[in-house]
Amino acid sequence: MAVVHLNKENFEAEVLKSEVPVLVDFWAAWCGPCRMMAPVIEELAEEFGAAVKVCKLDVDDCPIIAEKYGIESIPTLMVFKGGEVVKTAIGVQPKEVLKLMVLMA
């Protein structure tokens, strides 16, 4: 599965109303650690397939959503299940940590 790019128009449908768990990467193009996470996010999307939705949300394009979820540092990775945040990690994370985060949600 490909990474889903979120915006204010599709956030509710893709994340809050998703039937499967959703991993959201809150990031920005100017953020070095965010760019380091990009290949990991792509790999997770491939590995999880249809079982988990993997998404990216550019905090500069969607400041209202970022503010709603209290994003103060990026990258911030959140797992949503049933429309609620169930797990959060801030900063660069190893792929295995993110996999566990999603699987334990």
Which residues form the catalytic set? 31, 34
Looking up tokens 């290949």 gives 39
> For the purposes of burial, counting CB atoms within 10 Å of the CB of 36, is it exposed (0-12), middle (13-18) or buried (19 or more)?
exposed
Dihedral sign (CA 13, 96, 62, 69) = positive
